[in-house]
Amino acid sequence: MSRVWSEQAPGSVSLVGAGPGDAELLTLRAWRRLQTAEVLVYDNLVGPGIVDFAPVTAERIYVGKSAGNHTLPQEDICQLLLEKAREGKRVVRLKGGDPFVFGRGGEEMDVLLQQAVPVEIVPGITAALGAGASFGFPLTHRDHAQSCVFVTGHLKDQALELNWQALAQPNQTLVIYMGIHGLERIAAGLQGAGLAPETPAALVYRATWPEQRLHACTLATLAATAQRHGIKPPTLLVIGSVVALAAPERPSALV
């Protein structure tokens, strides 16, 4: 039997990407791991209904984090994963998006491997891909952007000292995760590095969720747009000319 269809071993942890929200965007392997989970440790960005794919007998443990409100500190989450795996359980650590894209999956993997606990990584569709697909703007395009950069706007020490010069390059799409509380600093940093104030931008709230919204603006009007619409996390910031291709009301291919 191929590795793709192998079962998760008892006493191991699968770090599973739940995707951007829509349950139909789960990978087949993610769905299979949920079906056989004995312990499910999940975050607050996991889309509606996804947790229900796990058996009713599975132990469900919510460890969601939001700004200034952590159900469990990261160190305690790692310890929880270790303890459940050492009980011989099949542990699924379910994360919104992809475990390795600003999901702290690397930290959890390191701790588990240091303690000789087998770890599997199941990738998921990250929020930027979900946003582009939902609202019809490509992250790369031969006429607009030949590169795409993902950046976190929420650093470990709460600082926001990014390489503005590298981020303010022409023909590039910039996607900033967790940047909603630093919009003024982001706009100032990018403009100071030479990015035009009229550069198209978008604030995307809960891409692929039923309540998803896209608020189009420019680099110069980012903070004002967020304030006017009362935008809150989780919101993705996309900057670059590809945003001008977005069509929030575009016809659907679904029937």
Q: Are residues 44 and 93 in the same domain?
A: yes
CB 9 within 8 A of CB 109: no
pLDDT bucket at 160, cuts 50 / 70 / 90: confident
Residues 134 and 212 in one domain: yes
Annotated active-site residue in 22, 52, 65, 89 = 65
Catalytic-role residue among 43, 89, 95, 98: 43
In tens, the pLDDT along 175-185 reads 999 999 999 99
Per the annotation, the verdict on 156 as an active-site residue is no
| The pLDDT value given to residue 25 | 97
pLDDT above 60 (res 230)? yes
Closest CA to 183 of 126, 239, 249, 117: 239
CA torsion through residues 248, 153, 176, 131, sign: negative
Do residues 103 and 17 lie in contact, with contact meaning Cβ atoms separated by under 8 Å? Answer: yes
Q: What is the pLDDT of residues 188-205, one digit of tens each?
A: 999 999 999 999 999 999
- Higher pLDDT: 114 or 250? It is 114
252 assigned to some structural domain:
no
Distances (CA, A) of 33 to 112, 139, 205, 230, 238: 18, 30, 28, 37, 32
154 and 83 in a common domain: no
Partners of residue 200 on adjacent β-strands: 218
Q: Which domain holds residue 144?
A: 127-245
Q: pLDDT tens digit string along 114-128? A: 999 999 999 999 999
For the chain, give the percent of residues with pLDDT over 90. 86
Within the chain, strands assigned E span 12-17, 39-42, 59-62, 65-66, 69-70, 90-95, 119-122, 147-152, 172-177, 200-205, 213-218, 235-239
Q: Would you place residue 69 in the very low, low, confident or very high pLDDT band (cuts 50, 70, 90)?
A: low
Last residue within a domain, chosen from 122, 157, 179 = 122
Is 132 found in the same domain as 104?
Answer: no
Total number of domains constituting the chain: 2
Report the mean per-residue pLDDT for the chain.
Answer: 92
The predicted structure's pLDDT at residue 252: 57
Distance in angstroms (rounded) separating the CA atoms of residues 30 and 190: 37
For residues 159 and 183, state if they share a domain.
Answer: yes
Cβ neighbors of 45 (< 8 A, separation 6 or more) are 18, 21, 64, 95, 96, 97, 234
240/156: higher pLDDT: 240
**Residue 3 falls within a domain, yes or no?**
no
Reported confidence tier of residue 134, pLDDT bands at 50, 70, 90: very high
Taking residues 248-255, report their average pLDDT: 59
Q: Residue 228 pLDDT more than 50?
A: yes
Same domain, 150 and 206: yes
Q: What is the pLDDT of residue 98?
A: 98
Same domain for 116 and 160: no
In the annotation, is 232 catalytic? Answer: no
- pLDDT attached to residue 65: 75
Between 154 and 254, name the one with better pLDDT.
154
For the segment 230-236, the average pLDDT, to the nearest whole number, is: 95
- Band of pLDDT at residue 237, cut at 50, 70 and 90: very high
CATH number, residue 87: 3.40.1010.10
Residue 118 CB partners (closer than 8 Å, separation 6+): 9, 11, 12, 13, 112
Same domain, 20 and 117: yes
**Domain closes at, from 122, 149, 173:** 122
Q: Are 141 and 172 in contact (CB under 8 A)?
A: no
Which CATH number does the domain housing residue 172 bear?
3.30.950.10
pLDDT for 157 beyond 90 = no
Residue 187 counted as domain residue: yes
Q: Is residue 174 domain-resident?
A: yes
State whether 95 and 135 are in the same domain. Answer: no
Residue 101, pLDDT > 70, answer: yes
Determine the Cα–Cα distance for residues 79 and 243; give it in Å rounded to an integer: 41
Same domain flag for 131 and 235:
yes
If asked whether residues 222 and 134 sit together in one domain, one would say yes
3 pLDDT above the threshold of 80:
no
Assign 156 a pLDDT band (cuts: 50, 70, 90): low
Give yes or no: residues 88 and 169 share one domain: no
pLDDT-derived band of residue 248, with 50, 70 and 90 as boundaries? low
Q: Which of residues 95, 122, 149 is at a domain's end?
A: 122
pLDDT > 80? residue 255: no
